Amino acid sequence: MADFSSTITVKNGYSSSPLSRISYRASQGSWITPPRSEVGPAESDVFKLGASNNVSEGEATYRTTSGAQFKVYFRCGSNGNTVAVTPPQFASAQFNASGTPLAGTTQVLEN
């Protein structure tokens, strides 16, 4: 199961390649949006679009050029994507147990 304790939120739940332009935060806290060629191909890439075209879910594992590896879990709804990222240092937003973003932690990114 995905760990949704650390998440980011991105727009565009209907992309056929939802992870190709995800921005993520490096451990030093800066935002980077590397070209996919710099991130490296997803080591595992799963994307499923719901029959109603408003729900999609899946996961992908990426390795950066420096060798860091991180897994992206996502579950998307009609209002946008909720993406859980592990390890936590790649997360931009954190949600409490009821699913409400904690103040000051949410950053919406273009997908």
Q: What is the pLDDT of residue 71?
A: 58
The pLDDT tens digits for 27-44 are: 333 333 333 333 344 433
Sign of CA dihedral 4, 10, 14, 18: negative
The strand pair at 6-10 and 93-94 is best described as antiparallel
Residues 64-108 have pLDDT tens digits of 445 555 555 554 444 444 444 443 433 443 444 444 444 444 333
In this prediction, residue 19 carries a pLDDT of: 37
Residue 80: per-residue pLDDT: 43
> Structural domain boundaries of the chain?
6-95
For residue 67 the two structure tokens come to 């060798």
Distance of CA 73 to the CA centre of its chain: 6
What Rg value do the Cα atoms of the chain yield, rounded? 13
- Digit-coded pLDDT (tens) for 49-59: 333 333 344 45
The two tokens of residue 65 are 């050029």
